[in-house]
């Protein structure tokens, strides 16, 4: 079997002759058989051929054996198999010693086109049939006609190899065959069909295998790409976190300078009251900006899975709540109703707990019904041998849908209602509440129903000291 | 005799305000804009009760300044307490020195300084 470029048919040559079948073809011994016996003999041959071809091996390997088998039932002297594969042509020969260059040239030429060639060797006169004209009868007719014109008594049967429809991808050329009778045509036709199907299947299997390999390669590329994108995401996250932290740092420096300057003005002895008041305004506004930066930084920490740094100290929660609500009442009016015990001592971070109360109460004012009271209750509970404190903030008004309740504590998440309310919010308040609660070893949950309205419940251990990671303190 | 503080920061504004605030609080204050300037100043001052060192500085940062300080003036380095001032709410990791938050509120800042020295 040889690969040979076929740019010019005259230059076509075989560099290697393939192992072939028997060098001297057997003379078919079925000449004396009755047509029934001959038909059965050929059926057996085709059966054996089909068995050989069903091995899924390359046809090139089984080619000599197939022709050995066929030659026992149908007389021919030589055989050439031409297969076109892309731009190259493969040729296999049977009884190669007797194959002439002209024969190969003929076989190759005929394989180039979608025609059947039936021709004599000495005179390259060919009868061509278009694929639509192929039938055993016309084939026999042409064969007979060509045969009669063939002087050296050498004729070829050129069988196109194709499946489904032409064009053919190759030819099987049998040399020195006798004139074909109708039954012969059926036999060689069946033979060429079997060979064609086997070759076609072989390449399909090869092609599918290559395709699978390519897919495997592609998917491994994809995998590495997706791994890369995971890394990209992590990098992006890192960059964003660094950016936020840098931004806060760089914002804080001038902010602190402005506030300290304003504080220094406040402390000046020789200033008038309006100036002192203006300075105080600067300070309080700067404090608000500073608080926003702190919130943003902390929300960013929570997002990246860090615990918030807490400064745990003992204090009375009731006193803190009273103080905080007094301040909130100066902004929002007397909206708050307190249900608290006389005293509730514990260990927490004072400024963080203040943030919880401020956030929940501000939200209640913002999203609750404008006139109804907001109820803040504190109670001490005991869960699984742990002393706990529960902070509840309850308001009436629009309820929070179950869908929104699920995502409410995520950063930058605001409920559909909140977004549609026209009220401004960063969507980090509840993230902070959750972060602060969790940093204390506590939890936060929300319930919203027609009976009680919306209730945010923060549960904290009475003593949060064991829950503080050393890193965070 | 007033206690002497050397404040080191790469931000002119911060340094200026730290100077005023600490002076008003009753300390003798020297300010150095960056680590290199501080190293020169240490040699002239000799007696410093506290160094307030910005952790993140462009050029020579806090830890780099400390290394240079120790190398150039080993004796003074041993005698002089140093605290970091950091803009971050959390101490930088693996920080061996004490630290306080940067000047953001006068009263808070003075309270933090007084944990180390009083005027």
The band of A7, judged by pLDDT with boundaries at 50, 70 and 90, is very low
The band of A76, judged by pLDDT with boundaries at 50, 70 and 90, is confident
Give the C-alpha separation, A145 to A148, whole Å: 5
What pLDDT does residue B82 have? 92
Q: Collect all residues of chain B within an 8 Å Cβ-Cβ radius of residue A254.
A: 13
Residue B51: beta bridge partners? B6, B82
Structure-token pair, residue A317? 């929660």
Q: Which of residues 285-314 of A touch B (CB under 8 A)?
A: 290, 294, 297, 309
Give the C-alpha separation, B78 to B67, whole Å: 12
Mean of pLDDT values over A1-10: 38
Reported ipTM: 0.88
Picking from B11, B88, B106, the nearest residue to A263 by CB comes out as B106
Contact B80, B111 (CB under 8 A): no
Our CA dihedral for B69, B72, B75, B78, rounded to 10 degrees, sits at 20
Structure-token pair, residue B97? 């020195």
Task: Please check whether residue A257 touches B, CB under 8 A.
Answer: yes
Query: pTM of this prediction?
Result: 0.49
Give the C-alpha separation, A192 to A159, whole Å: 6
Q: What distance in Å separates residue B115's CA from the closest CA in chain A?
A: 16
Strand arrangement, sheet containing B4-9: B28-33, B4-9, B50-54, B82-86, B98-101
Q: Collect all residues of chain A within an 8 Å Cβ-Cβ radius of residue B14.
A: 253, 256-257
Comparing A15-29, A121-135, A262-276, B13-27, the range with the smallest average pLDDT is A121-135
Give the C-alpha separation, A221 to A330, whole Å: 63
Mean of pLDDT values over A114-129: 35
Structure-token pair, residue A62? 């089984």
Task: Please check whether residue A380 touches B, CB under 8 A.
Answer: no
Contacts for B14 with CB less than 8 Å, ≥ 6 apart = A253, A256, A257, B54, B102, B103
**Given an 8 Å threshold on Cβ–Cβ distance, is A253 in contact with B24?**
no
Give the C-alpha separation, B83 to A297, whole Å: 24
**Given an 8 Å threshold on Cβ–Cβ distance, is A267 in contact with B104?**
no
pLDDT tens digit string along A224-275?
Answer: 777 767 777 777 777 777 777 777 778 888 899 999 999 999 999 899 999 9
Please determine, for residue B93, whether its predicted confidence score (pLDDT) is greater than 70. no
Please determine, for residue A172, whether its predicted confidence score (pLDDT) is greater than 90. no
Q: Collect all residues of chain A within an 8 Å Cβ-Cβ radius of residue B11.
A: 253
Please determine, for residue A105, whether its predicted confidence score (pLDDT) is greater than 50. yes
pLDDT tens digit string along A309-360?
Answer: 788 999 999 999 999 999 888 888 888 999 999 999 999 999 899 999 999 9
Give the gyration radius of chain A's Cα atoms: 47
**Given an 8 Å threshold on Cβ–Cβ distance, is B88 in contact with A264?**
no
Give the C-alpha separation, A249 to A111, whole Å: 79
What pLDDT does residue A421 have? 59
Give the C-alpha separation, A19 to A170, whole Å: 20
- Whole-number mean pLDDT of chain A? 75
Picking from B24, B89, B104, the nearest residue to A256 by CB comes out as B104
**Given an 8 Å threshold on Cβ–Cβ distance, is A249 in contact with B87?**
yes
Best probe of the B interface among A242, A253, A280, A292, by most B CBs < 10 A, is: A253
Task: Tell me the CA distances in angstroms from A166 to A48, A112, A319, A341, one per residue in order.
Answer: 26, 12, 95, 96
Give the torsion sign (CA, A333, A339, A343, A344).
negative
Say which residue, A195 or A125, is predicted with more confidence. Answer: A195
What pLDDT does residue B6 have? 96
Comparing A249-253, A389-393, B40-44, the range with the smallest average pLDDT is A249-253
Task: Tell me the CA distances in angstroms from A342 to A1, A247, A317, A441, one per residue in order.
Answer: 102, 43, 10, 24
What pLDDT does residue B30 have? 96
HEC profile for A386-454?
EEEEEEEEEECCCCCCHHHHHHCCCCCCCCHHHHHCCCCCCCCHHHHHHHHHHHCCCEEEEEEECCCEE
Mean of pLDDT values over B17-32: 96
Structure-token pair, residue A315? 């204090």
Task: Please check whether residue B104 touches A, CB under 8 A.
Answer: yes
Comparing A70-79, A218-227, B7-16, the range with the smallest average pLDDT is A218-227
Q: What distance in Å separates residue B22's CA from the closest CA in chain A?
A: 12
The SS3 assignment for A288 reads helix
Please determine, for residue A10, whether its predicted confidence score (pLDDT) is greater than 50. no
Q: What distance in Å separates residue B84's CA from the closest CA in chain A?
A: 16
Best probe of the B interface among A254, A263, A266, by most B CBs < 10 A, is: A263
Best probe of the B interface among A245, A256, A266, by most B CBs < 10 A, is: A256
Mean of pLDDT values over A423-432: 74
Best probe of the B interface among A249, A251, A257, by most B CBs < 10 A, is: A257
Say which residue, A77 or A153, is predicted with more confidence. Answer: A77
Q: Which residues of A215-237 are buried (b: 16+ CB within 10 A; e: fewer)?
A: eeeeeeeeeeeeeeeeeeeeeee
Please determine, for residue A71, whether its predicted confidence score (pLDDT) is greater than 70. yes
Residue A406: how many CB atoms within 10 A of its CB? Answer: 11
**Given an 8 Å threshold on Cβ–Cβ distance, is A260 in contact with B21?**
yes
HEC profile for A32-69?
CCCHHHHHHHHHHHHHHHHHHHCCCCCHHHHHHHHHHH
Nearest residue of A to residue B94 by CA position? A471
**Given an 8 Å threshold on Cβ–Cβ distance, is B104 in contact with A254?**
no
Contact A20, A71 (CB under 8 A): no
Contact A374, A397 (CB under 8 A): no
Picking from A245, A256, A472, the nearest residue to B103 by CB comes out as A256
Structure-token pair, residue A109? 């030429």
**Given an 8 Å threshold on Cβ–Cβ distance, is A297 in contact with B90?**
no
Please determine, for residue A5, whether its predicted confidence score (pLDDT) is greater than 50. no
pLDDT tens digit string along A203-221?
Answer: 788 778 888 888 888 887 7
Kind and range of the H or E run holding B42 = helix B35-45
Task: Please check whether residue A246 touches B, CB under 8 A.
Answer: no
pLDDT tens digit string along A398-425?
Answer: 888 888 887 777 656 666 666 665 555 6
Please determine, for residue B62, whether its predicted confidence score (pLDDT) is greater than 80. yes
Residue A79 burial (C-beta neighbours within 10 Å; 0-12, 13-18, 19+): buried
Percent of chain A with pLDDT over 70: 71
What pLDDT does residue A131 have? 40
Say which residue, B17 or A189, is predicted with more confidence. Answer: B17
The SS3 assignment for A88 reads strand
Give the C-alpha separation, B37 to B29, whole Å: 15
* DSSP 3-state percent helix, strand, coil across chain B (nearest 5): 40, 20, 35
């Amino acid at each position: 079997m040889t690969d040979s470029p076929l740019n010019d048919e005259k230059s076509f040559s075989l560099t290697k002759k393939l192992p072939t079948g028997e060098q001297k073809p057997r003379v078919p011994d079925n000449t004396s058989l009755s047509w029934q016996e001959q038909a059965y003999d050929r059926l057996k041959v085709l059966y054996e051929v089909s068995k050989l071809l069903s091995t899924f091996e390359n046809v090139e390997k089984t080619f000599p054996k197939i022709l050995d088998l066929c030659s026992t039932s149908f007389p021919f002297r030589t055989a050439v198999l031409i297969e076109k594969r892309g731009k190259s042509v493969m040729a296999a020969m049977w009884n190669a010693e007797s194959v002439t260059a002209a024969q190969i040239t003929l076989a190759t030429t005929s394989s180039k086109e979608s025609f059947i060639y039936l021709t004599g060797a000495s005179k390259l006169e060919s009868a061509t049939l278009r694929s639509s004209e192929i039938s055993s009868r016309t084939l026999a007719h042409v064969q007979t006609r060509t045969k009669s014109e063939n002087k050296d008594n050498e004729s070829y049967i050129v069988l196109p190899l194709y499946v489904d429809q032409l064009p053919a991808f190759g030819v099987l050329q049998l040399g020195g065959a006798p004139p074909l009778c109708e039954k012969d045509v059926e036999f060689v036709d069946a033979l060429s069909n079997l060979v064609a199907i086997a070759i076609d299947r072989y390449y399909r299997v090869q092609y599918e295998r290559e395709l699978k390999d390519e897919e495997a390669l592609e998917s491994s590329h994809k995998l590495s790409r997706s791994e890369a994108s995971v890394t990209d995401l992590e990098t992006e996250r890192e960059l964003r976190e660094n950016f936020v932290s840098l931004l806060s740092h760089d914002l804080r420096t001038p902010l602190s300078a402005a506030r300290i300057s304003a504080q220094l003005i406040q402390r000046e002895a020789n200033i008038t009251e309006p100036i002192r008041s203006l300075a105080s305004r600067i300070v309080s506004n700067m404090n608000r900006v500073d608080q926003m930066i702190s919130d943003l930084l902390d929300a960013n920490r929570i997002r990246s899975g860090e615990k918030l740094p807490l400064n745990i100290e003992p204090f009375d929660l009731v006193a803190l709540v009273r103080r905080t609500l007094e301040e909130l009442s100066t902004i929002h009016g007397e909206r708050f109703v307190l249900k608290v015990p006389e005293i509730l001592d514990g260990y927490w971070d004072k400024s963080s707990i203040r943030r919880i109360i401020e956030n929940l109460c501000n939200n209640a004012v913002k999203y609750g019904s404008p006139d109804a009271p907001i109820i803040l209750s504190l109670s001490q509970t005991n869960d699984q041998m742990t002393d706990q404190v529960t902070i509840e903030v309850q308001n009436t008004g629009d309820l929070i849908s179950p869908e929104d309740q699920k995502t409410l504590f995520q950063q930058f998440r605001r409920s559909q209602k909140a977004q549609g309310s026209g009220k401004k919010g960063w969507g980090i308040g509840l993230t902070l509440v959750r972060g602060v609660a969790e940093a204390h070893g506590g939890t936060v949950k929300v319930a919203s129903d027609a009976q009680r309205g919306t209730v945010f419940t923060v549960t904290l251990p009475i003593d949060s000291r064991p829950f503080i990671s050393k890193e965070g303190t | 005799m007033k206690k002497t503080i050397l404040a080191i920061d790469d931000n002119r504004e911060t340094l200026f305000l730290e100077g005023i605030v600490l002076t008003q609080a009753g300390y003798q204050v020297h300010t150095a804009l960056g680590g290199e300037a501080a190293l020169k100043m240490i040699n002239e001052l000799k007696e410093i009760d506290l160094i307030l060192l910005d952790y993140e500085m462009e050029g020579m940062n806090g830890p780099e300044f400390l290394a240079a300080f120790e190398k150039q003036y080993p004796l003074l380095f041993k005698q002089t307490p140093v605290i970091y001032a950091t803009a971050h709410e959390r101490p930088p990791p693996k920080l061996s020195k004490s630290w306080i938050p940067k000047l953001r509120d006068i009263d808070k800042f003075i309270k933090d300084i007084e944990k180390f020295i009083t005027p």
